[in-house]
Structure 1
């Protein structure tokens, strides 16, 4: 009897060890999700904290942590993911590599400039980050403190966290680009005068909406999908967008 109990216990432990989260995705922030009811920290990536701020070359400050959360939700919320567990972190979260329709979620976030490769824990996304930096995608088009440095600075009593001052998350030198080209990836918070929304429909049609049109307020811009803000209708048309019919 004791031998059978031991065998049963061993089998249960083995099953627990290889069990991996699977199910619908609910995004908590740029690198943390609830997947099938399990809290998951994506392996080898690091995204800005929810309260983290960034700025652009003009010094305009914006809530990049919240922006990353919203962009990540636009990509993954409600979809079905399958994960491979790797570890459990000090907060009790399952550290895992997860895929949606066979596509690595971590790779998607790093390639889009929504998260950085966390080389301390793995080199899987090193080249993806370098490509995003060269193209100035997402966070690479702005001034951002690496999330790990931000967390460390925030823990120092009486220390005021600065937006600038540590940009170790950038792994390569980004070629100079015009300010408008770099800001084209970023939220409208950085170009408040540019109010025209360049949306891409489900059929791939590029349509822009101007303030006052029927669907202007309901239209959301996702930089990771190639959508962007424009400062004039002429600029939108030159980029290949047509005006919404109403």
Structure 2
């Protein structure tokens, strides 16, 4: 009977690869869990870009769950155009009132801009913009929008086109506002894949 001779080191190489694969898996899971668990809030002086966008410490922030008038978007009042884009921007500046803001990141949109809930002092800026009628809600603030609409606050006192519809009419395509839950999942998947690829290159 022929004797089977096993090549030395073959089993060891397989075990080493298995060990590295397991290590990569645990590292990736830990990384994804840490990312999904959130990060430290971003704090600092805010530069108001428009009614739903800020720049804090050089980072572009979109206020999650709201949609304010776009640049050059007007409302109408008895046929007279009102610069609602500027009014919304100025209202956000008034809410901040030169205070430092604290933004809690929830994810990224498709353009890699941070989606966040931001506060100036105790004031939730996302909620306040909807409550005061200078932004529409597409997240958790529908009841605030209804309240502002019924009271004819902000742009609800005028005739206006939904910002999403305005973007379609003026750019040919809607600027997608990915929800925070979807965007953070997509970003985590991208980071997860990159980490796995890097770890595999070490094997």
Give the shorter-chain TM-score range.
Answer: 0.5 to 0.7
Does 1:74 pair with 2:94? Answer: yes
Structure 1 unaligned residues grouped into runs of 5+: 158-246
CA-to-partner distance for each residue in 1:74-114, whole Å, 9 max, x for gaps? 22254222233222101111111222223211111111111
Which 4+ stretches in 1 moved above 4 angstroms?
2-17
Q: TM-score scaled to structure 2, two decimals?
A: 0.65
Aligned to 1:40: 61
Q: In proportion to residue count, which structure has more helix?
A: 2
Higher relative contact order (CA closer than 8 Å, sequence separation 6+)? 2
Name the SS of the counterpart of 1:28 in structure 2: strand
**Cα separation, 1, equivalents of 2:117 and 2:91:** 19
CA-to-partner distance for each residue in 1:44-89, whole Å, 9 max, x for gaps? 1000001101111x20112111221122112225422223322210
- Let me know the Cα RMSD of the aligned residues: 2.6
**Cα separation, 1, equivalents of 2:76 and 2:105:** 35
The offset of 1:9, in angstroms, is 7.5
Structure 2 unaligned residues grouped into runs of 5+: 1-19, 174-203
Q: How many residues align?
A: 152
User: Cα distance 1:72–1:114, how it changes in 2: closer, same or farther (>3 A)?
Assistant: same
CA-to-partner distance for each residue in 1:108-165, whole Å, 9 max, x for gaps? 11111111112xxx2x2111111111111110000100000000111239xxxxxxxx
Does 1:55 pair with 2:71? Answer: no
**Cα separation, 2, equivalents of 1:6 and 1:37:** 34
Q: Is the 1:30–1:114 Cα contact (8 Å) retained in structure 2?
A: yes
The offset of 1:16, in angstroms, is 4.7
**Cα separation, 2, equivalents of 1:13 and 1:127:** 33
Q: TM-score scaled to structure 1, two decimals?
A: 0.54
Partner residue of 1:142 out of 137, 143, 158: 158
Partner residue of 2:84 out of 61, 64, 72: 64
Name the SS of the counterpart of 1:40 in structure 2: strand
Question: Larger Cα Rg: Structure 1 or Structure 2?
Answer: 2
Q: Is the 2:95–2:120 Cα contact (8 Å) retained in structure 1?
A: no
